[in-house]
Structure 1
Amino acid sequence: MTLDATMARAFGLDEDTWQRHANPWSVYTRIPVPSLLVGAIWSRTRIGRWCLVPVGAVCAWTAVNPRAFPPPRSLDHWASRAVLGETDWARRRTVPVPPRHRAAPNVLGAVSALGVPFVVRGLVVRNGWMVLFGLGVQTAGKLWFLDRMALLHDDVAPAGSSPAERPA
């Protein structure tokens, strides 16, 4: 089982939850989560321990978000295809992906992860430029990853199909 599939299982992402998460509203309201979390943590010097309230709210939203929206009426949106591509990528050990999609997701995941140390260090030393640089790298890597997932989904699935409708 891949790390992606293990994490999906740990967060309780079953077929119904993935379908709900494929709603573009779910995707687009999840994209700013890292920035909101950073803002909540950054506020610690102004509001002290009260910063735990917005940190908790962001964490709660992160957990609730994949379940908060109904399944989309259409899976033709870029965001829907990106989420469904993530399910295809998570199942890559049992359902092979085309060769052109095998390296980019790993590289882009690493690019996204490269921004995190800058964010953490910037938050510790309160260096706004370092935090913004790290967020930029992390967000760019994640959005590019999502774009590759949409392309992956386009290559492995008929238009408008869900993972449940595809051969396993």
Structure 2
Amino acid sequence: MAMPEKAQIIQVPNTLRAKVGGRLGALDAQAVAKAEAALADLSNHFEDWLMDEIRKLEEVQARIKEEGLNMVNSDQLFYRAHDLKGLGTTYGFPLITRVAGSLCKMLDEEEKRMIAPWKLVEAHLDAIRAIVRGQIKTVDHPTGLMLSETLEARVKEHLEAAGLYT
């Protein structure tokens, strides 16, 4: 089948530079130093903030033990795990990010939350506490790495068996 017309190439002008205002200037070394000093000052509080997040997770855990797993508690469990997933590395504990990420994978949909094996959920929470207690701050720590890989494998097995692994 023959093409009825020739293709026409249209060159669209790039107006982004005019909108942005040209090139960025050099970074102000003094401003960068000030920002780094502020971050260093804040980093003194990271472990306290991390412990606050873990306490919130433990409160949800206690509520679930008392009331049972319901939609409200399972949602809170997911949101607390999701917060730790985002904050773990920032607070200097990258394996917390990994373990909390594994927990989130198991809880990221309503259907998954309601069939999550409680012992596997608790194993994730215990692992998070162990990482903090052991001050495991590297991703290649042998025990921490084995623990996170094992939890991820168990989550995968559970979700595959339920037909929910993606």
TM-score normalised to the size of structure 2? 0.32
- The answer to which structure has the higher helix fraction is 1
Q: Which has the higher contact order (CA 8 A, sep 6+)?
A: 1
In our comparison, the structure showing a higher alpha carbon Rg is 2
